[in-house]
């Protein structure tokens, strides 16, 4: 899949993946979901975002996790 709403610019936000060239990192959006916020709450907090931005941010994060191993603590 080609991401049309996720941009990476080395001269903006340190090159972290952001939504549509805005200074809103994908990690911020995904973190808001992780904290229990709903779509409408996130959109209210960031009026420049659209529902499609949120969906693509989650998909981007899912793909990023698939592409690398993350260290996990074992019990």
Encode the chain (75 residues) as per-residue pLDDT tens digits: 689 999 999 999 999 999 999 999 999 999 999 999 999 999 999 999 999 999 999 999 999 888 776 666 666
pTM, to two decimals:
0.85
Measured between alpha carbons, how far is residue 15 from residues 21, 50, 64 in Å? 11, 22, 15
Tell me what pLDDT residue 26 has. 97
């Amino acid at each position: 899949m080609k991401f049309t709403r996720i941009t990476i610019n080395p001269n903006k936000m340190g090159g972290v993946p952001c939504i549509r060239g805005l200074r809103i990192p994908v990690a911020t959006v995904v973190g808001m979901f992780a904290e229990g916020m709903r779509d409408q709450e996130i959109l209210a907090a960031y009026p420049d975002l659209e529902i499609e931005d949120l969906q693509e941010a989650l998909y981007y994060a899912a793909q990023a996790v698939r592409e690398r191993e993350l260290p996990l603590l074992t019990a």
